[in-house]
């Protein structure tokens, strides 16, 4: 080696153990907004996909969660156990993740997820949350704030609503008083409400009334990242009890839509 030559630095793959078997397409393409340029879309909505609970990937995921709950494991990487086709079948996680009270690190690298259920708030031992490169995961449930031990997160922030790099808009939310008639809270349209079911208040944990949740967005620092959180509140009082948003973001809880004024991209 000549004196002027320098040895090449070799960087290890930090996510090598978070990637499952290859050989197929494991994610769908997302066109909700441009994740690389600050372009204002004409509209933005929640992903409307419903989870097919009959597919093999879902059944296998249920079994993996039960296994992890029984053995008390501290690191849970469910997607590495699934084939590419099975990973693509998973667009949310089961409510049974509430059983994972011993898990300290939840790894969802490269998932096809479009939503996380509020039951993640029951994972009270969670210290690290890694849904990195989950490009269709644009928001998180407010119940994530209940994970009081959470210290580290690895999120592809360009993919989330309101991120400071691009400032993509938030979907416009409906609220209880705006809903025509009574809602079936166990069978909601996820393209409108962000979930197929909303049963309890994100803030006080009391049941949601028949008129439906009072929904607002708030951007808060969760561990390492500022994340857009969807609040399903039972009342305006619970909305008023919310903390202040992270500095450099929309300061108060809001209902989303293209009319919400955000700071300029690149500013916090």
Phi and psi of 227, rounded to 5°? -120, 145
Q: Tens digit of pLDDT per residue, the chain (268 long)? A: 444 455 544 444 455 566 666 656 678 999 999 999 888 888 899 999 999 999 999 999 999 999 999 999 999 999 999 999 999 999 999 999 999 999 999 999 999 999 999 999 999 999 999 999 999 999 999 999 999 999 999 999 999 999 999 999 999 998 654 554 568 899 999 999 999 999 999 999 999 988 789 999 999 999 999 999 999 999 999 999 999 999 999 999 999 999 999 999 986 6
Q: Is 14 exposed, middle or buried (0-12, 13-18, 19+ CB in 10 A)?
A: exposed
Query: What are the structural domain ranges in the chain?
Result: 34-240
Check residue 158 and give its pLDDT.
Answer: 95
User: Alpha carbon of 104 to those of 50, 107, 151: distances in Å?
Assistant: 28, 10, 10
Which single residue is written with the structure tokens 């809602």? Answer: 183
SS3 233: strand
Phi and psi of 167, rounded to 5°? 55, 50
Check residue 183 and give its pLDDT.
Answer: 82
Dist. CA 94–CA 105, nearest whole Å: 17
Check residue 210 and give its pLDDT.
Answer: 80
Model-level pTM? 0.90
Q: Which long-range contacts (CB under 8 A, 24 or more apart) does 180-184 make?
A: 182/210, 182/211, 183/210, 183/211, 183/212
Check residue 118 and give its pLDDT.
Answer: 98
Check residue 10 and give its pLDDT.
Answer: 41
Dist. CA 33–CA 42, nearest whole Å: 9
| Cα dihedral 186→188→194→200 (10° resolution) | -30
Identify the CA nearest to 164 among candidates 239, 221, 244, 232. 221
Phi and psi of 107, rounded to 5°? -110, 120
Dist. CA 61–CA 229, nearest whole Å: 25
Contact criterion met (CB below 8 Å) for 256 and 172: yes
Check residue 9 and give its pLDDT.
Answer: 44
Which single residue is written with the structure tokens 């879309």? Answer: 41
DSSP assignments along 114-159, one per residue: S---GGGGG-TT--EEE-TT-TT---EEGGGGG-TT--EE---GGG
CA 45 to chain centre: 15
Check residue 106 and give its pLDDT.
Answer: 98
Contact criterion met (CB below 8 Å) for 211 and 180: no
Check residue 146 and give its pLDDT.
Answer: 97
Which single residue is written with the structure tokens 């049974």? Answer: 96
| Residue 187 DSSP one-character state | S
């Amino acid at each position: 080696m000549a004196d002027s030559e320098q040895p090449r630095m070799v960087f290890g793959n930090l996510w090598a153990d978070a990637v499952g078997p290859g050989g197929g397409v494991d994610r769908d393409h997302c066109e909700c907004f441009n994740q690389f340029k600050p372009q204002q879309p004409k509209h933005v909505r929640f992903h409307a996909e419903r989870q097919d609970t009959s597919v093999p990937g879902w059944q296998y995921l249920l079994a993996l969660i039960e296994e992890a709950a029984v053995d008390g494991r501290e690191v849970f990487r469910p997607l590495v156990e699934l084939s590419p086709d099975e990973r693509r079948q998973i667009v949310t996680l089961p409510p049974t993740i509430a059983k994972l009270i011993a898990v300290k690190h939840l790894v969802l690298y490269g998932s096809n997820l479009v939503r996380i259920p509020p039951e993640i708030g029951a994972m009270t031992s969670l210290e690290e949350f890694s849904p990195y490169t989950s490009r269709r995961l644009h928001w998180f449930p407010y119940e994530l704030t209940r994970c009081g031990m959470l210290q580290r997160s690895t999120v592809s922030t360009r993919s989330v609503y309101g991120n400071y790099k691009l400032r993509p808009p938030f979907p416009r939310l409906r609220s209880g008083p705006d809903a025509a008639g009574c809602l079936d809270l166990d069978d909601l349209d996820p393209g409108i409400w962000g979930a197929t079911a909303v049963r309890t208040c994100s803030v006080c944990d009391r049941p949601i009334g028949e008129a439906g949740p009072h929904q607002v967005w708030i951007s808060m620092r969760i561990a390492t990242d500022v994340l857009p959180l969807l609040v399903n509140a039972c009342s305006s009082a619970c909305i008023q009890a919310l903390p202040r948003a992270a500095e450099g973001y929309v300061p108060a809880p809001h209902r989303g839509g293209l009319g919400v004024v955000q700071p300029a991209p690149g500013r916090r």
